[in-house]
Amino acid sequence: MAAVPPSGRAKNLRACLVCTIIQTSMDFRKKGCPNCEHFLEMRGNTDRVNTCTTAQFDGMTAIMNPKESWVARWKRVDISVRGIYAVRLSAKIPDVLRAELDELGITPRMDMITET
């Protein structure tokens, strides 16, 4: 199923700091991240949603076929679901999240993040 934010809720949109998918904060809290939930564990945890996502992003791109999309390959992240993704994040990855990702061997795409 596509992770497409409902219309009219642009002020509540957040992007995952790992895969950059855009959803409402409520969707991240209810369902977690469709690409990263198995290690980010945001479902049901507002504090975790605030740690692992950001409302500060520039541009959006729709990925309809993650397996064949050149945009998905360009982003070089593990995208398994179609949806709306941020082009660039303007956020600092919290130290606690960076340490967790390092422990899992996951390296965020720093060229897609402008740390503020």
* Domain residue spans of the chain: 10-112
Tens digit of each residue's pLDDT (9 = 90 or more) over 2-31: 555 555 556 789 999 999 999 999 999 999
Dist CA 17 CA 97 (whole Å): 9
Dist CA 58 CA 87 (whole Å): 6
The top-level CATH class assigned to 10-112 is alpha beta
> Could you tell me the pTM of the whole model?
0.84
Tens digit of each residue's pLDDT (9 = 90 or more) over 68-103: 887 777 776 667 788 999 999 988 889 999 999 999
Dist CA 84 CA 19 (whole Å): 11
